[in-house]
Structure 1
Amino acid sequence: MSKVLSLGELALKTAAERRKGRKVVHCHGVFDLLHVGHIRHFERAKSLGHTLVVTVTPDRFVNKGPHRPAFHEGLRAEAVAALACVDHVAVNAWPDAVQTIKLLRPSIYMKGSDYRSMKDDVTGGIRREKRAVESGGGKLVFTDEVVFSSSSLINRHLPAFTPELAKFFEGFTRRHGVASVLGWLEDAKRLSLLAVGEAIVDEYAFCEAIGKSSKEPTLVVKGSEAELFAGGILAVANNAASICRKVSMLAMIGRTKPRLDFIRRKLLPSVRPLWAWRSDGPTILKRRYVESYHFTKLLEVYEIQDAATLPKDEAAWVRLIAREAPRHQATLVVDYGHGMLGEKAIKALRAKAEYLIVNAQSNAGNIGYHTIDRYGKVDLACMAENELRMERRDRRGDLRGLLESLCRERGWPRAICTRGKTGSLAYERGRGFSAVPAFAGVIKDRVGAGDAFLSVAGPLVAAGAPLEVAQFLGNAAGAQAVATVGHRQSLDRATLIKHTESLLK
């Protein structure tokens, strides 16, 4: 009989064992690469009871970065079941073991010694699991066997990255180290941040291609379902809330169709919203028609009012900026070029912000009309490569030369240029350049990658982190963003930490 069971079947087994008066020991984890540390852990666990059951984290909840797990959940369960000391195995149904413990009610819940210091568990999962096992009359026990790291072994012996990328990680770890990188994340947590920009609702209208119209050269599709996401500055604020303790958001909302109920539902509770009302238009909606099977975007339609801003609206926004910017240690502006930030608003930002971070995005609605030069001197400028080249009117020139000369002319102390699959390049006056490659594993959708990068890198630089560290963590955030559809998931601090640890072990 197979040792690998469904979770329901495993619950029946453990209930039968309890009725017989037998002691059930439960182990739980990813077990991505089975090694001698795991084997000793299981053997020690079995020695403390009669029946050893193991649950394996399902693929969708492995939070060690888009390149993990290295092995599918079924293979991981099969590998654990092959051990003689293990009696039963199941793939878990939840992100952690709390509900599983309540279902199985083990006498002992076993964890490795690396979980003994509960304050170092960034997810808080071990505390919740301790409460769960004790509520069922069991206890949490730690093993003291030899400790190995699956992440370290996988990175060394089953690399998911190119040799060039592996070499970068090795050098980066020597220069900074995991503890130092996570220390900068902790410093950024104390930062108060004001995010400023247009609220955008992103709609994905999924459809199936039928074929060509018989009367005209037109693609015909059959609509299926639609999904709405909180995009624009809404996504930036939600992401930044995983980095900073205090995030306020000044967002442009349209009076004629506010969509405010949806926006409020999607905003994280830790984000303090401030509304900049536009009287003559709707809250911006960008509808993308997406062919479901290949996830191919066919067409994009804007619902937008992009005429000049009414003076009374701009005056109200300027007053909000003047009031709120000085109350925050850093102001992060993402200017999507859809009319919110005119000359008066920009002047207020420059005058009132303690630390000003700016991205002036080039998109289909503003290309050729909207560049960062409107902002003059800022503390940190962030732009995509195409935006930098447009700013310099140079399609093929050396990127480092373009970035350095722009910083020198504008008086910027530092700037970051994001380059998609190539990574990011940064320049800082007196320190020179730092280049960090991209390390996205799974790419589902590129929408939101730049916003995710800026949401993390901007606050880190404002908190004093080296540019290379900010780029690294920004790239990690971008890798997480492209692994999901649209803004379906905001960044999670614990996942970012786990991803960082996984990459640098």
Structure 2
Amino acid sequence: MTLDGRRFATNSAARSSSAFASTPDWAASCNGCAGRSPKRRRRSTLMAVESPHITAVADDKIVSLSDLRARIGLARGHRRVVHCHGVFDLLHIGHIRHLQRARRLGDLLVVTVTPNRYVNKGPDRPAFDERLRAEAIAALDCVDLVAVNRWPTAIETIGYLRPDCFVKGAEYRDPDRDVTGAIAREREAVESIGGRLEFTDELTSSSSRLINRYLSGLSEATRRYLTGLAQRHDSDEVLAHLDRARELSALVIGEAIVDEYQYCQAIGKSSKEPVLTVRQNRLEKHAGGILAVANQVAGFAGRTTMLTMIGAESDQARFVERQLRPAVDAVYVRRRDAPTIVKRRYIDGYFFQKLFEVYEGDDAPLNADEAAQLNAAIAARAPEHDLVVVNDYGHGMIGRKAADEIVDRARFLALNVQCNAGNLGYHTVSKYRRADLICVAENEIRVEGRNRHGALEPLIEKVSRRLDCPQVIITRGSRGCVCYDRQEGFTKVPAVAGQVRDRMGAGDAFVSVAALCAARGAPLELAGMIGNAAGAEAVATVGHRRPIDRARLCRHIECLLK
């Protein structure tokens, strides 16, 4: 047929891609597209071409999950029901052959599609909305019915639909390679209802690889770096370093901070003063500072202990305790004459624009009794742990004697010494005599070196020598990080963040996972890459609204390295 002066094939594979009809060369075999120049194709990658007939056919096949269950119930007993499930973010020939083979295993092929909110392949995924993904699947002749799932995986769906056969691709045959652990539970689910799990041995391809290459928001330089990294270290090797963090016991030390987001509505200029007037709306509170680090570390380490300082007031103490993951063993030093630190950010709720910030707290050093309690806790706890992670926010908790105790007692010491509005110019990493890993931001090492504009590498080497620290990672925001290993030299690792919702908390997420990897002997470049992926997960949400999910991070890394 002809549409806008261009010809489109009308076979079933063409219909499967009707929502994304203008595609690169790699998808030509999937959609039967012909007669377009490469130049035209690149310019209109996401153009939608609609055919009323094709859309009607697809719409007839797309049903709600409850309707799908009812139709399967009518077919049960005289038709064999086959169930496939997946994201199907970019329909390709591997998907098509998989579904065609699955259809031959029964009489009725039903497909469930992962909802947008549960796609765990990185902050910018899925590339296509759940409705478009369902339409693409429904346009295939081999598929009878399609529904968008309600749950993160097919485990609950299998029990809800009760198919005779659940079918996965050959890449899931080895359950040890499934970082989510879902395939083993899916097998249990289908066998518990008397069905069976089958695998197709068709052409294996990857939506993630195609999206990374053609539709990703990452720069060309970043894509080239990731391709080269994948050739040197496959995803199994990279994730093995993260997995070995389960063998570690970690002690995290630093100030507890309650991060508040006070959302406002801008009203206008005050009639009497040249100031902005806002109306307060809702308040959102997060467990920040070392509380956030403890929650992040607890998601990856085998055992996590947190040593922190909070105020004596009961309300904030209860909030802090409720926000910690159950796996965190908390040890508190309570300040009798100072509140728990609160950092309140006033936000224009419409644009999520930060207006200003207010600190509540006392940055004075601990009194003698409190300092003695902290030092005793460090002396008792640090030797019991494989790794000590210090996030020193410079708000009076860790004095010189406490820093010395940490240095003397830690088996492996990872330091993150932060500059902020309350301590800039007074607080640097040289407060500590030594470390095994230093992880700070570029502005923080420049303050340490009193060098605002010079080359970064000499500063890193100077700090490494002064603190007898063999490994240093400098984070640089959108420019990624610079990793220095005394034996291997310098490596630059690009950032992998796409959408940036809120930068606050990205550094805490980075150091949490990078320190664990470095402590288990991972090459520092891989620790930096994993840290960048964790940072990308962190900036995609508001503050410390939720800790990084291990399975989600692993899937993100897998997708980056495809």
- State TM-score, norm by structure 1: 0.96
Q: Secondary structure at the match of 2:425?
A: coil
How far did 1:354 drift?
0.7
Q: Secondary structure at the match of 1:226?
A: strand
Cα distance in 2 for partners of 1:206, 1:105 equals: 46
Structure 2 counterpart of 1:348, from 378, 401, 405: 405
Which residue in the other structure is 1:166 paired with?
223
Q: Secondary structure at the match of 1:5?
A: coil
Which residue in the other structure is 1:72 paired with?
129
How far did 1:157 drift?
4.1
5 Å-filtered alignment, 1:198-209, equals 198-209=255-266
1:416 aligns to 2:473 (yes or no) = yes
Which residue in the other structure is 1:393 paired with?
450
Cα distance in 2 for partners of 1:450, 1:68 equals: 22
1:279–1:313 contact (8 Å) kept in structure 2: no
| Code of the aligned partner of 2:281 | S
Which residue in the other structure is 2:68 paired with?
10
How far did 1:503 drift?
0.7
Cα distance in 2 for partners of 1:157, 1:283 equals: 48
The C-alpha deviation readout for 1:409-430, integer Å capped at 9, x for no partner, is 3322221111011111122223
The C-alpha deviation readout for 1:346-380, integer Å capped at 9, x for no partner, is 11101111111111111111112111111122111
Which residue in the other structure is 1:479 paired with?
536
Q: Secondary structure at the match of 1:123?
A: coil
1:324 aligns to 2:324 (yes or no) = no
1:7–1:92 contact (8 Å) kept in structure 2: yes
The C-alpha deviation readout for 1:41-78, integer Å capped at 9, x for no partner, is 21122222222111111222111112322222221111
How far did 1:119 drift?
2.8
Cα distance in 1 for partners of 2:415, 2:135 equals: 50
2:266–2:279 contact (8 Å) kept in structure 1: yes
- State TM-score, norm by structure 2: 0.87
Comparing 174-183 with 86-95, which one deviates more in the overlay?
Answer: 174-183
With over 3 angstroms needed to count, the CA separation of the structure-2 counterparts of 1:406 and 1:109, relative to structure 1, is same
1:456–1:474 contact (8 Å) kept in structure 2: yes
How far did 1:437 drift?
0.8
Cα distance in 1 for partners of 2:451, 2:213 equals: 41
| Code of the aligned partner of 1:150 | S
Q: Secondary structure at the match of 2:518?
A: helix
| Code of the aligned partner of 1:233 | I
How far did 1:218 drift?
2.4
Aligned length: 504
Bigger RCO (CA 8 Å, 6+ sep): 1
5 Å-filtered alignment, 1:255-404, equals 255-257=312-314, 259-404=316-461
1:403–1:415 contact (8 Å) kept in structure 2: yes
> How well do the aligned residues superpose, as a CA RMSD in angstroms?
1.6
The C-alpha deviation readout for 1:193-242, integer Å capped at 9, x for no partner, is 11001111111111221212222222222222111111111111111122
Cα distance in 2 for partners of 1:322, 1:459 equals: 21
How far did 1:159 drift?
4.1
- Give ranges in structure 2 of 5+ residues lacking alignment: 1-55
2:311–2:335 contact (8 Å) kept in structure 1: yes
Comparing 308-317 with 22-31, which one deviates more in the overlay?
Answer: 22-31
How far did 1:321 drift?
0.2
2:81–2:108 contact (8 Å) kept in structure 1: yes
Structure 2 counterpart of 1:441, from 474, 484, 498: 498
5 Å-filtered alignment, 1:112-131, equals 112-131=169-188
Percent identity (aligned): 53
Which residue in the other structure is 1:139 paired with?
196
- Give ranges in structure 1 of 5+ residues lacking alignment: none
Structure 1 counterpart of 2:254, from 197, 221, 242: 197
| Code of the aligned partner of 2:400 | E
Q: Who wins on radius of gyration, i.e. which is larger?
A: 2
Which residue in the other structure is 1:177 paired with?
234
Comparing 280-289 with 436-445, which one deviates more in the overlay?
Answer: 280-289
Structure 2 counterpart of 1:430, from 465, 487, 512: 487
Cα distance in 1 for partners of 2:447, 2:538 equals: 26
| Code of the aligned partner of 2:201 | D
The C-alpha deviation readout for 1:438-465, integer Å capped at 9, x for no partner, is 1101111111000000001111111111
Cα distance in 2 for partners of 1:53, 1:368 equals: 63
Cα distance in 1 for partners of 2:232, 2:155 equals: 38
How far did 1:404 drift?
1.4
How far did 1:258 drift?
5.7
